[in-house]
C-alpha cells in the first residue's frame, strides 16, 4: 500500500498476543514493525512469525548488538533465518563489528545506533564519552557508514546534520518521536513526526504514542493521514 506512513511501530508489548494484536491493527497504516530486545528475548523467532504474517510490512529487529566483532557476526548469522529487513548494531562497538554484521546478513539493512535518544550532553560527560551529543553522533555515523552500515539511528535533532554528512542513500531512523503535547517519557531528544520528516528522516520509530492509545489502529491511521498532508 502506497499510503502507508514511514513509521516503525515499536511493539514493546507485555506478551505475544498483545504484540500480534497491535501489529494487526497498525499494519494497514505503517510500513514497519519494530521488535525490541525484551520481546525478542521472551519469544525469539515466534514473535517474528506472529507479527509478520502476510501483511507485507518490514520487520525491524532492534537488538542493538554490541560486542566483539566475532560475536556480533555470529549473532547476526543466528537471526538470518528470520529474514529481518533491518537489524541494529551499536556504532560504538566499532567498525569491525559493524562490518561483521554486514557480511553476515547481506540482504538485511544494518542500521547503526549512534547515541541513544535517552542521553544528553550531561550523560555523555558522566560516562566519559567525548561530546557534545551532536559531535558524538556525527563521529559515530561517519564511522558506521564507512564500515558498511546502510542506516543510522539518531534523534530527530541530529537528522538534518547527518543527512548533509552522509548523503541521500543512507536510511535515517529516528526514535524520540512524540506527538504534539505528549510526554517525552524517558527520551531526552525528541521532536514531532512532522518535524522529524521535514529535517530529513526516512523512518520514524513511534511506540507508546500509538500503543498506549485507547485505539492504536485509529491512532496509527490518523497519524498516517496527518503525515500525508502537504506542508
For residue 96, the SS3 value is helix
Q: Given 34, 64, 81, 109, which residue is catalytic? A: 64
Q: DSSP class of residue 213?
A: S
- Asked whether the CA dihedral 137, 118, 84, 105 is positive or negative, the reply is positive
Rounded to 5, what percent of the chain is helix, strand, coil?
45, 20, 35
Q: Catalytic residue at 64?
A: yes
Which residues 6+ apart lie within 8 Å of 50 measured at CB?
16, 19, 20, 23, 43
Residue 231 near residue 33, CB atoms below 8 Å: no
Active site residues: 64
Amino acid at each position: 500500500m502506497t499510503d502507508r506512513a514511514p513509521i516503525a511501530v515499536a511493539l514493546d508489548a507485555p506478551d505475544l498476543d498483545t504484540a500480534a494484536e497491535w501489529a494487526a491493527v497498525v499494519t494497514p497504516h505503517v510500513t514497519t514493525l519494530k521488535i525490541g530486545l525484551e520481546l525478542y528475548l521472551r519469544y525469539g523467532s515466534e514473535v517474528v512469525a506472529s507479527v509478520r504474517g502476510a501483511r507485507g510490512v518490514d520487520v525491524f529487529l532492534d537488538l542493538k548488538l554490541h560486542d566483539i566483532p566475532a560475536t556480533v557476526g555470529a549473532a547476526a548469522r543466528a537471526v538470518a533465518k528470520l529474514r529481518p529487513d533491518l537489524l541494529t548494531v551499536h556504532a560504538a562497538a566499532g567498525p569491525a563489528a559493524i562490518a561483521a554484521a554486514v557480511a553476515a546478513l547481506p540482504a538485511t539493512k544494518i542500521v547503526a545506533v549512534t547515541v541513544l535518544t535517552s542521553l544528553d550532553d550531561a550523560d555523555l560527560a558522566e560516562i566519559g564519552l567525548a561530546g557534545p551529543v551532536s559531535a558524538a553522533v556525527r563521529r559515530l555515523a561517519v564511522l558506521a557508514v564507512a564500515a558498511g552500515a546502510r542506516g543510522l539511528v539518531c534523534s530527530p535533532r541530529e537528522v538534518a546534520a547527518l543527512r548533509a554528512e552522509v548523503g541521500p542513500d543512507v536510511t535515517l531512523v529516528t526514535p524520540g518521536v512524540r506527538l504534539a503535547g505528549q510526554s517525552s517519557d524517558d527520551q531526552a531528544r525528541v521532536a514531532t513526526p512532522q518535524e522529524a520528516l521535514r529535517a530529513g528522516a526516512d523512518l520514524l520509530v513511534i511506540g507508546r504514542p500509538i500503543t498506549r492509545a485507547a485505539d492504536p489502529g485509529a491512532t496509527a491511521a490518523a497519524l498516517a493521514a496527518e503525515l500525508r498532508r502537504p506542508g
